[in-house]
């Protein structure tokens, strides 16, 4: 044997699995098609949100959470409806993951030096009944250091294992085939790609300059999903979400292309829930793109008025931050793949955050002083840069000028000033009294009952057309491709299953390639903070299971 285990993909799930195996003294080969600059994969770019249940951070803020409540929320969101087949293992992984999030997950990370921002975020608020979609309480724990902070401890461990000779890391090694013998997977072969000085996330050459073949007792596929491959996203786009968008931004680099999923399927692995995916609706084009069609997601508070391409306000509960896929469906069925926020300067100062490590230099850089500067007047520097340089922003003192600018930006005369004015005036009248039938106003007031939202996340309710709150701001929102919720079906040891439901000896999967466990532990919808967590959990489980199986 050349190596004990071969790990394909140096993203977070692959790093976690590698550390677990090498910690047991086993020899690991870590392969990745990208240059070393992209070590850590998508996780490095992330905001670093993790789903935790009944954490010290929650309790300090007066949030009463429990495993039972989290499981109720998970099941209400997942909507598992194929429990005899495609959802069988996904549900089992979901239950195991909620146990992990309510149990040892935080302590395990804390021992590695991971710390959390003290304010817990409230993502995916739902807006339906108690047993429907959404988080009943805030659970979005932001890692101090964002995505770089969650990658760092595992990178440190892998680098130390490399120095000790336990891990052999080979970038620019693209796996083209899984090798088998006697029904078991025994290795990989592929192409050595030309060296590249491409920076993290930038497209790198696919020119091959050589070939390789390596063997081991087990292979882990941790190569991510399909979010960077828009053709594949459209191919598997679910009809329940309307027609696939003609125009999309990319929330992930181009190398998130789904290649290894097809290669693993060719080797006998079963892919399930192909039409389950997670794309964001609040995307803006990056004014300083790293990759093609680079989109940044706005993490909005609940106050912006959300309109479709025709200027019609979305019905409840399609409010900012409540139901990502529900709003995506509504947008797509409008006939256009974009929508609009209308808000004020006061709202953007308090409620606009941008997803990603590079868009939050204060938290990424672990600067308390810079974080505290967020309470000062004005938008944060990254948001202000998009206001000044981003092509999706319109700013005006008068509503007529704002609407004219929106029509000019879209290239269509779809927006009617009288219609938009009528809707905003109706909304503003609801601010005059303590009572309201406007469920968005009710939601804003309810959010401010949570101290975390009141302090830093939700603006005090105010009239949008009051000049004292201006200027007015409109933001064109695009669909941003992101996560794959389906994937390789795995059992609770991370072993990849074939079409008969049998484990393929020697073949494992982790992270997004496995639908974050079982081929779809999220079901149809996610609760946020569960993607990085899914990489951590599946990588850990697969790594430990392999150690138990190795001879």
* pLDDT digits 0-9 by tens, 242-273: 999 999 999 999 999 999 999 999 999 999 99
How far is it, in rounded angstroms, from Cα 22 to Cα 230? Answer: 36
Determine the pLDDT at residue 206: 97
| Nearest one of 210, 209, 74 to 517, comparing CA atoms | 74
How far is it, in rounded angstroms, from Cα 509 to Cα 493? Answer: 9
Mean of the pLDDT values across residues 223-244?
96
How far is it, in rounded angstroms, from Cα 265 to Cα 489? Answer: 10
Mean of the pLDDT values across residues 73-84?
98
State the chain's mean pLDDT as an integer. Answer: 97
Residue 189 φ/ψ region, left for φ over 0, alpha for ψ in the -120 to 50 degree band, beta for the rest: beta
Mean of the pLDDT values across residues 458-473?
97
Q: Identify each DSSP E strand in 112-197 by its residue range.
A: 140-142, 167-171, 173-181, 184-193
Determine the pLDDT at residue 375: 80
Mean of the pLDDT values across residues 163-187?
97
**Is the pLDDT at 524 greater than 90, yes or no?**
yes
How far is it, in rounded angstroms, from Cα 314 to Cα 331? Answer: 9
CA 254 to chain centre: 16
**Is the pLDDT at 531 greater than 70, yes or no?**
yes
Confidence bin at 1 (pLDDT 50/70/90):
low
- The token pair at 289 is 């793109």
Residue pLDDT, tens place only, 304-355: 999 999 999 999 999 999 999 999 999 999 999 999 999 999 999 999 999 9
In percent, the amount of the chain with pLDDT more than 90 equals 97
Determine the pLDDT at residue 288: 96
Mean of the pLDDT values across residues 362-377?
88
Long-range contacts of 201-206 (CB under 8 A, 24+ apart): 201/38, 201/45, 201/253, 201/290, 201/291, 202/253, 202/290, 202/291, 203/253, 203/254, 203/255, 203/291, 203/292, 204/33, 204/34, 204/35, 204/172, 204/255, 206/174
By the 8 A CB rule, do 454 and 138 touch? no
What does the DSSP 8-state code read for residue 42?
A: G
| Nearest one of 302, 308, 307 to 445, comparing CA atoms | 302
Find the DSSP H helices in 6-86: 12-23, 56-60, 67-78
Mean of the pLDDT values across residues 125-140?
97
How far is it, in rounded angstroms, from Cα 126 to Cα 317? Answer: 7
How far is it, in rounded angstroms, from Cα 378 to Cα 214? Answer: 55
Q: Apex CA 253: angle with CA 218 and CA 371, to 5°?
A: 105
Sequence-ordered list of residues with C-beta below 8 angstroms from that of 257, at least 6 positions apart, any chain: 226, 228, 229, 232
How far is it, in rounded angstroms, from Cα 422 to Cα 415? Answer: 12
Determine the pLDDT at residue 432: 93
How far is it, in rounded angstroms, from Cα 535 to Cα 440? Answer: 34
Q: Give me the CATH code for the 3-223+485-549 domain, please.
A: 3.50.50.60
Confidence bin at 377 (pLDDT 50/70/90):
confident
Q: Where are the domains of the chain?
A: 3-223+485-549, 281-480
How far is it, in rounded angstroms, from Cα 5 to Cα 219? Answer: 6
**Is the pLDDT at 189 greater than 80, yes or no?**
yes
How far is it, in rounded angstroms, from Cα 341 to Cα 309? Answer: 10
């Amino acid at each position: 044997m050349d190596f004990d285990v071969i790990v394909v993909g140096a993203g977070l799930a692959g790093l976690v699995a590698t550390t677990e195996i090498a910690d047991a003294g086993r020899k690991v080969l870590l392969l990745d098609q990208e240059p070393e600059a992209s070590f850590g994969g998508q996780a490095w770019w992330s905001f670093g949100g993790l789903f935790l249940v009944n954490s010290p951070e929650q309790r300090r803020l007066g949030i009463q959470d429990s495993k039972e409540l989290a499981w109720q929320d998970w099941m209400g969101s997942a909507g598992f409806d194929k429990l005899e087949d495609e959802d069988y293992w996904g549900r089992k992984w979901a239950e195991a993951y909620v146990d992990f999030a309510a149990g040892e997950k935080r302590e395990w990370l804390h021992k590695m030096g991971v710390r959390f921002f003290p304010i817990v975020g409230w993502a995916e608020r739902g807006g339906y009944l108690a047993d429907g979609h959404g988080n009943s309480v805030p659970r979005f724990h932001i890692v101090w250091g964002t995505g770089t902070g969650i990658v760092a401890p595992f990178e440190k461990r892998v680098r130390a294992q490399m120095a000790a000779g336990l891990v052999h890391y080979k970038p620019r090694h693209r796996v083209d085939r899984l090798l088998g013998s006697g029904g078991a997977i025994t290795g990989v072969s592929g192409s050595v790609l030309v060296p590249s000085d491409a920076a993290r996330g930038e497209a790198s050459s696919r020119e091959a300059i050589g070939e390789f073949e390596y063997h081991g007792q087990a292979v882990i596929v941790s190569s991510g999903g399909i979010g960077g491959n828009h053709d594949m996203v459209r191919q598997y786009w679910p009809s329940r979400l309307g027609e696939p968008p003609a125009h999309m931004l990319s929330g992930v680099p181009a190398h998130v292309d789904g290649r290894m999923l097809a290669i693993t399927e060719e080797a006998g692995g079963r892919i399930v829930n192909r039409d389950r995916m997670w794309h964001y609706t609040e995307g803006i084009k990056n004014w300083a793109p790293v990759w093609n069609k680079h989109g940044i997601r706005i993490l909005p508070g609940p106050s912006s008025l959300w309109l479709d391409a025709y200027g019609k306000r979305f019905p409840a509960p399609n409010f900012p931050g409540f139901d990502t896929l529900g709003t995506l469906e509504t947008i797509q069925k409008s006939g256009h793949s974009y929508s609009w926020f209308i808000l004020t300067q006061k709202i953007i100062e308090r409620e606009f955050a941008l997803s990603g490590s590079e868009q939050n230099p204060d938290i990424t850089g672990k600067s308390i002083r810079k974080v505290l500067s967020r309470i000062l007047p004005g938008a944060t520097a990254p948001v202000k840069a998009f206001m000044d340089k981003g092509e999706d922003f319109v700013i005006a003192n008068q509503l007529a000028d704002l609407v004219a600018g929106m029509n000019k930006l879209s290239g269509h005369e779809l927006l009617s000033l009288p219609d938009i004015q009528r809707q905003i005036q109706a909304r503003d009248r609801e601010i005059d009294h303590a009572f309201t039938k406007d469920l968005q106003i009710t939601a804003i007031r309810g959010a401010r009952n949570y101290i975390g939202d009141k302090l830093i996340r939700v603006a005090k309710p105010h009239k949008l057309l009051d000049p004292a709150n201006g200027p007015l701001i409109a933001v064109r929102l695009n669909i941003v491709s992101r996560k794959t919720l389906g994937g390789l079906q795995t059992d609770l040891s991370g072993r990849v299953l074939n079409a008969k439901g049998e484990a393929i000896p020697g073949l494992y999967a982790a992270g997004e390639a496995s639908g974050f466990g079982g081929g779809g532990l999220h079901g149809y919808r996610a609760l946020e903070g569960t993607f990085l967590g899914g990489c951590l959990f599946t990588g850990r489980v697969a790594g430990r299971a392999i150690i138990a199986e190795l001879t």
